[in-house]
Structure 1
């Protein structure tokens, strides 16, 4: 498990450290304080900075550009990597870094923008003046100047490096192989298992894929028990694949059987809470040995279900060795977590609330005991 996460020049953080991490870490704070950015940083770090992981992060936020290739008369989509950097700006030699420490190791990912080997340095000694985007675009119009985006990941003796040529205005191609991505010092070692659940939950296709990993395994029963938090009558659940159900806008793909009915009930007809709990349960179980990230964890759930949700996540995380990072704005959500923090076993594994405050370079940490006291006395931790 990570004990600290450190960010530098990433998203809205010039410098930030998340310390005293536990098994469950609930991030609270005002809007636009950077809670989701921290989840993304952990996701990219645990994925070793793959192009796929960066693409997922930027695609969720709509951070891409579309442009027409003159020769092919086709529209090309590129990810706008400026938004990964503090200040939404890049120039040669600008970088960001994300690192995490455990009890026995340190893991680091760095992103660097630099001139490609053989291309020229900028002619202006002072760098770029005026609008950085316009200056950078003008510079790249000269064929002698090409920028690369370099990602380097390190953990102990393991390391990976990727270099990707940037297109106009700091565009990272959706299909980077076509534009000469180079992958160096890549060790074929198992990657950390990581699951990200955003505020709108998982897509139907993703949930079916996760569910099929659990069918006929002992963990399948955990999914049923999780659904019973919202609807106690659910006795069984099954996936039903079809072309229609693979539509990301559909809440199909699953049917359940209730204790008082012989009919198969489409899960989409049973409300938002069932769908949300299903996604969280599947993601928790399939993150075995890795990290679970949940944005706005309480979305779609009534406050009466939150304590049981935390209990499900807590027990599963301990059993399957999962570290959890989640965000919320809801007071019912953190106060429900206090019921778990009051258990004797919580001190051993660690439950933490981290309040993220804009302009601060560390979080305000509440430990297990402090969470319980705050809930009992009505103190506000958000």
Structure 2
């Protein structure tokens, strides 16, 4: 389990260290305080063996689709998306992003641009990921085209390794991702857990099935009690689809980590308490470390209530990030300190 992380030159962070990470971590703060960037940095560090973690992060920031698919002769079309990861958007070959942890898991990941041998239309610009953990070391270097361009990745068979660490964003999971995750749990107790979590929004849910159909919103069907006709999950609203993606990702992270950006999107306060209770219980049972962001006071109070109801106050912490003079600072709340903050309506968002 990750207990700390030090971040250098990543997005908003010049040098930032956070300690006291627990099993379930809620990151709060104002807009542009660094919540999502911290979530990403931890995701990249624990996914050091998965090069597509980088493209996932960049794609989620809406810069990849718009810039990368332009004229491939324009060098900036490939360099720009990766540049957004660097503080100030001005990376150099001697300028590193460094992510490291020194507590329970001692490891370090360095990331920078390098010169690479041109392959066909590639322009000789690459990325180096240097990972160190004790005596274990590796240098994973690759061309930018291998990371981003779909046809190039298929041609050179750049494969994503099987991982138990998943990122859930405000966007819907694509159908292929849902299918892959579902196939890992079908007819197991983890499928039952997904159904239990979905019932926080629809108590009459009986069954769920995936069908091979390309029509958007029709790939996932659910069976409601006393209703003979199955209905598309998408017809139940964004909240239902969102919690399905959350539950499906969570149970596929056994002995790993789950990352959720804006967990409360589309969810009512009463559903948030039930959702948090099941997330905490499932994370404990499957040994999943959870990192979540939110802007919502309701989500924060629901988190605290769920921790109290499950007698798991030692499993969860809240970290409030704030930006002052171009530096990011944080305050942590857990146990009695979190209870006092909630009871006295202290602004911890």
Aligned length: 333
Map residues 233-312 of structure 1 onto 2, 5 A cutoff.
233-244=204-215, 250-312=216-278
Q: 1:198 to 1:69 in 2, by over 3 A?
A: closer
State yes or no: 1:224 paired with 2:195. yes
Q: 1:253 to 1:51 in 2, by over 3 A?
A: same
Tell me which residue corresponds to 1:11: 11
2:149 pairs with 1:174: yes
Tell me which residue corresponds to 1:371: 338
CA distance in 2, matches of 1:172, 1:216: 34
Q: Which residue, out of 133, 140, 163, partners 1:162?
A: 140
Hey, what's the Cα distance between the residues in 1 that align with 2:207 and 2:258? 25
1:209 is matched with: 180
Task: Note closer, same or farther for the CA distance 1:79–1:316 as it changes in structure 2 (3 Å cut).
Answer: farther
Q: 311-320 or 14-23: which moved more?
A: 14-23
Distance 1:35 1:206, change over 3 A: same
Cα deviation, 1:320-375, whole Å, max 9, x if unaligned, reads 00000000001000000111232474244x21110111144442100122222222
What residue in structure 2 maps to residue 25 of structure 1? 25
Alignment of 1:114-125 (within 5 A): 114=114
Mapped to 2, the partners of 1:205 and 1:172 lie a distance apart of 19
Runs of at least 5 residues in structure 1 that lack an aligned partner in the other structure: 118-144, 184-189, 245-249
Structure 1 pair 114/302, CA: closer, same or farther in 2 (3 Å)? Answer: same
CA-to-aligned-CA distance 1:91-144 (integer Å, 9 cap, x gap): 2311110113442x3121101235569xxxxxxxxxxxxxxxxxxxxxxxxxxx
Secondary structure at 1:223 match in 2: helix
Conserved? CA contact 1:341–1:369, under 8 Å: no
- 3-state SS of paired residue (2:195): helix
User: How far, CA to CA, are the matches of 2:139 and 2:168 in structure 1?
Assistant: 27
Query: Take 1:365 and 1:156, find their aligned partners in 2: how far apart are those partners?
Result: 29
Match of 2:68 in 1: 65
Question: What is the match of residue 352 of structure 1?
Answer: 317
Structure 2 residues without counterparts, runs of 5 or longer: 118-122
RMSD of aligned Cα (Å): 2.9
Displacement of 1:175: 6.7
Structure 1 residue matching 2:189: 3-state secondary structure: coil
User: What is the match of residue 120 of structure 2?
Assistant: none
Deviation readout 1:196-229 (Å, 9 max, x if unpaired):
0001242233222212211111111111111110
Q: Is the 8 A contact 2:55 2:148 kept in 1?
A: no
Question: CA separation of 1:79/1:225 partners in 2, compared to 1, >3 Å: closer, same or farther?
Answer: farther
Between 157-166 and 286-295, the greater mean CA deviation after superposition: 157-166
Does the 8 Å contact 2:273/2:302 carry over to 1? yes
Contact 2:13 2:327 in 1 (8 A): no
**Corresponding residue for residue 36 of structure 2:** 36
- The Cα shift of 1:277 comes to 1.2
Q: Distance in 1 between matches of 2:182 and 2:127?
A: 36
TM-score normalised to structure 2 length: 0.86
Match of 2:97 in 1: 96
SS in 2 for 1:78: helix
Q: Which has the larger radius of gyration?
A: 1
Aligned counterparts of 2:171 and 2:116: Cα–Cα separation in 1: 39
- Distance in 2 (CA, whole Å) between partners of 1:211 and 1:10 is 33
1:293 shift after superposition: 0.4
SS at match of 1:257: strand
